[in-house]
Amino acid sequence: MSPSVGIIGAGPGGLALGIFLRKAGFRDFTIFDREDGVGGTWRINTYPGLACDVKSHLYSYSFDLNADWSRLWSAQPEILKYFERCAQRYELGPNLMLRTEIVAARWDGETWRLKTADGEQYAFDVVVSAIGLFTQPVLPDLIVEEPFSGTLMHTARWDHSVDLTGARVAVLGTGSTAAQLVPEVARVAAKVYSVQRSPTWILPKPDREYTRRERWVFRHIPLAKKIYRFRLWLRSESNISVIENGSDKTQEFRDIALKVLESAVPDEALRRRLTPDHPFGCKRLVFATDYLEALTQPHVDVVASPARALRKRSLVTADGTELDVDVVACATGYAAADYLGQIDVVGEDGTTLREEWRDGAYAYLGMAVPGFPNFFMLYGPNTNVGSNSVIFMLEAQAHYIVRALKYMRRRNKSYIVVRPRTMAEFLAKVDAWMAGTVWLTRCSNYFRAANGRVVTQWPRSAGAFWAMTRRFRPADYMFEPQRATVAAVRTTVDR
C-alpha cells in the first residue's frame, strides 16, 4: 500500500519530488505552500535586478531541459515561469494546496499531523520538508532613536509601490543580493549609499543573451542541450577545490577577483575600502556584472561602517555618520542555519526538532533525523553545494526519498527512521571532510551554527553526493518503532 505524503514547500525541491512521486505511481500526495503559486524563493523574491548566479541550463531539471533560456544567467521572471511551466506540464495542479502555511508538524505514533496557520489539520503517513534555506529574512538590529518616516524593507519583501526615482536610498549588505540591487537602484535614485559591514570578493559574471542560432540548436537538436548542460556541470565540478583553504584554485579565483577590482575601480582609496580582509571563499561567492562599476558613480557612496540606528529621516552608522535617506533596503540575507525555525516539528516521545538542533542542525544525507520517523527533508543541513547547482542536489535527494518510499511500499512497511549510529557515523565523516575548508577560517558567515559547526555546506563535490544517494540502503534505517537514543549523535555534534 502506498503511503500518503505531505510536502511542505512548492519550490524547486517540492516540485521535483512531486514529479518523481507521480512517475513512481504515488498519487496520494499534497504539496503545501503559503504563497499563491509555485516557485518558492523565485516567487517570494522580486527585487530589482534579481537573477540566478548559476547558469540557466544548469539551474534547471535534468529531465526538463529548457531550450528557450534567453540568457546565460536568467532573471527571476524567466526562472519563475520555468518552474510554473514544469508544475503545469507534469500535472501537479490537483496536488497543490496554495495559500496554506504549515506552522506545526506532530508525530502521533502512526501518522504526522500538519497544522496550518488557520488552525486546520491534515494527516499524512510521511512528511517531507522542502522549504529550503532562504525563507526567514534577517533584518539588522537597528536602534530606533526616532520613528523613521521613510521606507524600511527587506529585499525578500520588496515593496514595488515605493518609487525610487530621485530618492535617497541606503542599501545594507554586500552579498549577492546587494550586488544585483545596487546597480538597478543607482539607475534611478538621486543618491545611493552602499552601507557595508565588510566588503566581499567579486567574481566576473559575463552575462549575455543566447544567440538565435544557439537557441535554434537547443530547440531542434535535443542532444545539444544535454551535452551543453553536462559540460557546465563538469566545469562546476572541476572548481570544487575552491572550498579548500589555500588551494591553487582558491588563489586563482582570488587573483581574478583582485584584477576585476583593479579594472573596475580606478580610485585607489575606494579600491582599498572594497578589498576584503577575509579569506577568499569563506563567504558565499558573489558573481556580478556591473556592481563594482556602479559603486564608482558620482552619486553612489561606499560607507565602510555598518548601520546602527534610525532617525526620522536618516540612517546612522556605527562610526556616527548620519545619512539622509528616504529608503533603507536591507540586503541582509536569511537565517539560513536556522533550519525549519518557523515550524514546530515534534517527533517521538514529544521531542522537538528545535531541541535536537539546539547546537546546530544535522541530518543523515541532509534528509533524515533519528527520533523523527517518516520525516524527510530536501535542501536540509549540509547540502548547500560549494561549486555546482542546488537543482542537481535536490534531484538527487528527491530520487532518494522516492526510493525509500518504494521500498516501504514493496515491503509493506509503514514506519522508517534513520539509525542513530548511521547518523553519528555520517556526521563524523562530514566533520572530517570539513576540516581544511575555507568555511572554517576566521570569517563571519551564515554557514555556521552557534557552536561554530558548519551546518549548511556540503564539503565535497555534487558528484560525491549523488554517489552517496543513488542507492537506498535499508540497513541505515529501522522499520519498527524502538526507544532508540540519539546520545551518540549529540556527542558527535557537541564535539
Q: What is the pLDDT of residues 121-150, one digit of tens each?
A: 999 999 999 998 777 888 999 999 999 999
Distance in angstroms (rounded) separating the CA atoms of residues 79 and 11: 11
For residue 244, report the phi and psi dihedrals to the nearest 5 degrees: -90, 125
Distance in angstroms (rounded) separating the CA atoms of residues 6 and 237: 33
Distance in angstroms (rounded) separating the CA atoms of residues 146 and 310: 6
163 grid coordinates = 518609487
CATH of domain 5-136+335-494: 3.50.50.60
* Mean model confidence pLDDT for the chain: 94
Q: Which helix (H) or strand (E) holds 323?
A: strand 322-324
pLDDT in tens, 33-55: 999 999 999 999 999 999 999 99
CATH 3.40.190.10 correct for 143-201+246-281+283-330: no
The candidate with the shortest Cα–Cα distance to 195, out of 251, 273, 92, 265, is 273
Domains 5-136+335-494 and 143-201+246-281+283-330 share a fold: yes
pLDDT in tens, 464-475: 999 999 999 999
Distances (CA, A) of 41 to 162, 222, 346: 21, 29, 26
pTM higher than the cut 0.85: yes
Beta-bridge partner residues of 137? 334
Domain boundaries, the chain: 5-136+335-494, 143-201+246-281+283-330
Q: How many CB atoms lie within 10 A of CB 264?
A: 19
pLDDT in tens, 226-253: 999 999 999 999 999 999 998 999 999 9
322 grid coordinates = 548620519
Distance in angstroms (rounded) separating the CA atoms of residues 336 and 394: 17
H helix and E strand count, the chain: 14, 24
What letter does residue 154 receive in the DSSP assignment?
E
The C-alpha angle 155, 73, 283, rounded to 5 degrees, equals 55
Going across the sheet that includes 143-144, the strands are: 143-144, 307-311, 314-317, 322-324
Distances (CA, A) of 467 to 103, 400, 418, 459, 462: 34, 11, 19, 14, 9
